[in-house]
Amino acid sequence: MSMKPPTEFTLRRAIAAIAAIGIGVATYITIADSSGGAPACLAGGGGCQTVASSSYSHIVGVNVAVFGILGYVLLLGTAFVQGDAGRFSGFIFALFGFSFSVYLTYLELFRIHAICQWCVGSAVVMTTLFALNATRLVAYGGTEDDAPGSGRAPIPTQPEDA
């Protein structure tokens, strides 16, 4: 049983929309951090404060959310690049972002012992982007550039005796 993947155009639109959400989340975390505080946890609790104040929240003095913004911007860009260049670069950026999210979630659970909803949110966004970009690469890699609304062009099957 095989499921028909969405058209590449649909995938690209979804990637662009979700990357934009990612930029929003990462920007919020960055602004909250740079104003000296921490992102507000929606359900209360000090998870966000704890995670933001931990030494893992910065890499060489730069908040990890800044790297998040950069990653999401790159992913947004790949959604507008047609063909294998867009497919493969999107997959690689998403793979990098997803791996980084896995590592950060590990740190939250086993090193910082606190969970920040905004970080979880970003991890979910990045995981979705990875799934979408993997689908785009596997289903459409190698094919010609897509046009809006088109799927993969089928091989003509006209009978030889028309």
Partner 1 sequence: MSNKREQERERLRAHRLEREQAETQANARRRRLVQLGSGAVFLAVVVVAVLIVVSGNQNSGGSGEVVDVGLVDKMVGGIPQSGTTLGNPKAKVTVYEYGDLQCPVCKAYSEQVLPQIIEGQIREGKAKIEFRNFTIIGPQSKPAGAAALAAGKQGRGWNYIDIFYRNQGAEASGYATEAFLTTIAKAAGIKNLAQWNTDRKSKALTDKVSATTAEAENLGFTGTPSFAVTGPKSHGLNTLGTPGSAEAIEAAIKKAS
Shortest distance, CB of residue 115 to partner 1, whole angstroms? 8
Among 43, 58, 21, 64, CA closest to 116: 43
Write the CA distances from 45 to 36, 65, 100, 111, integer angstroms.
18, 21, 25, 18
Between residues 35 and 158, which has the closer beta carbon with respect to partner 1? Answer: 158
Cβ closest to partner 1, residue 28 vs residue 88: 88
Within 8 A by CB and 6+ apart from 7, the residues are 146, 149, 150, 151
- Helix orientation angle between 64-78 and 117-140, rounded to the nearest 10 degrees: 30
Torsion of CA 83, 88, 90, 91, to 10 degrees: 140
Least gap, CB of 159 to partner 1 (angstroms): 9
Using CB under 8 A as the binding rule, the residues of this chain from 66 to 125 that contact partner 1 are: 84, 87-88, 91-92, 95-96, 98-99, 102-103, 106-107, 110-114
Site string for partner 1, 21-60 (x = CB under 8 A): ------------------------xxx-xxx-xxx-----
42 or 138, CB closer to partner 1? 138
Q: Which phi and psi (to 5°) does residue 63 adopt?
A: -60, 135
- Nearest approach in angstroms of CB 142 to partner 1 is 3
The structure tokens listed for 109 are 């659970």
CB of 130 to partner 1, least distance (A): 10
Q: Name the 3-class secondary structure at 75.
A: helix
Sites of contact with partner 1 (CB under 8 A): 45-47, 49-51, 53-55, 84, 87-88, 91-92, 95-96, 98-99, 102-103, 106-107, 110-114, 134, 137-138, 140-144, 153, 155-156, 158, 160-162
